[in-house]
Amino acid sequence: METRNLTHVSEFHLIGFSEDPEMQPLLMGLFLSMYLVTVLGNLFIILAVSSDSHLHTPMYFFLCSLSLADVGFISTTVPKMIVDILTNNMVISYDGCLTQMSVFLLFVCMDDFLLTVMAYDRFVAICHPLHYQVIMNPRCCGFLLLLSFMASLSNSLMHSLVVLQIMCFKDLEIANFFCDPSQLINLTCSDTLSSGIVIYLAPIIYGFLPLSGILFSYYKIASSILRVPSPGGRYKAFSTCGSHLTVVCLFYGTGIGVYFSSAFSGSAEENALASVVYTVVTPMLNPFIYSLRNRDIRKAMRRLLRNAFLHSCIPVSCICTAFRERQQT
């Protein structure tokens, strides 16, 4: 591989999915539709929760935060990919690559920590129901959200500082459709202490520790649910965790798949495909999981659609009434 000095590196080359011209319109339509479904689905959840006063609770507050993070998550990678397909140009500038990597890490870590906070919220609601309102007060919810953001921002800044210290690259081709942090750091010419910390220590701090918190929360939740005497009570208690548990399995399952794919697979196409599942499919499915498995969200969405329909019909009926009165006169 060719070694390049950083002073001469102004851009990187991304690996697309196909160079076949006949496949480009299909790929663009597919990713554009998935992007629009994801953005509209998450924004619809936020509008439904905001418009229903019964859903102004800590659980739905964190759900809205997760939806915003998912919108930012997918908006970091997919719009650039759609533009690349349209222009048939898979080049990204050095500054653009660094910015995309930083914002991507910010939102993916926000997803990670918000899922952990939501698991803690369910733990308090099920294991300490009498103290739930006291523990999960608005100040505590705001603090947990701020803590998640600051932890995510620190991870993003740490990766950015490490990349800025890289003085040469072995290659300028990133084996993915976006500036994947692991792919970018692996292109460095020499292994430094800072890059080693980012590669090995950061996944433990920002991946394993939140997952451990989720597993511990659900261990305590399961222990508490099993002590409920009636089957109906156990089902009702567990049903409040079903949507969150499904999203956790999807998020970490696809994330682990991306990690092993990049570590043991030498195919750039397989790495890109695994990344699509993690960065595009997962945020797209989250609104459907919460809306289909959560009765309160379904009711709020139906109420929102009904109100929107009624408000759209009122101006039309007024215009028709005025038109009829004018004809009679």
pLDDT in tens, 235-247: 766 777 878 888 8
Kindly report the CATH number assigned to the domain that includes residue 103: 1.20.1070.10
209/309 same-domain check = no
Confidence of residue 304 (pLDDT cuts 50, 70, 90): confident
321/279 same-domain check = no
121/92 same-domain check = yes
Confidence of residue 74 (pLDDT cuts 50, 70, 90): very high
pLDDT at 255 over 60: yes
- The range of the structural domain enclosing residue 317 comes to 297-329
pLDDT at 300 over 90: no
pLDDT at 270 over 90: no
AA letter at 272: A
64/196 same-domain check = yes
62/117 same-domain check = yes
pLDDT at 316 over 50: no
320/243 same-domain check = no
43/85 same-domain check = yes
pLDDT in tens, 19-32: 677 778 888 888 99
244/309 same-domain check = no
Q: For residue 245, what pLDDT is reported?
A: 86
Closest CA to 173 of 5, 19, 16, 13: 13
Mean pLDDT calculated for residue range 10-16 = 80
Q: Alpha carbon 324 to chain centroid distance?
A: 51
* DSSP one-letter string for 168-183: EES-SEESSSS--HHH
DSSP state of 67: H
275/303 same-domain check = no
pLDDT in tens, 171-193: 788 878 888 887 787 777 766 66
Confidence of residue 265 (pLDDT cuts 50, 70, 90): low
Q: Alpha carbon 105 to chain centroid distance?
A: 10
Of 197 and 28, the one with more pLDDT: 28
233/311 same-domain check = no
Report the distance separating Cα 247 and Cα 267, nearest Å.
28
194/329 same-domain check = no
* Number of domains observed in the structure of the chain: 2
pLDDT at 314 over 80: no
Q: For residue 318, what pLDDT is reported?
A: 53
Q: Residue 91 is encoded by which pair of tokens?
A: 């080049």
Q: For residue 267, what pLDDT is reported?
A: 64
Planar angle of CA 291, 294, 297, nearest 5 degrees: 60
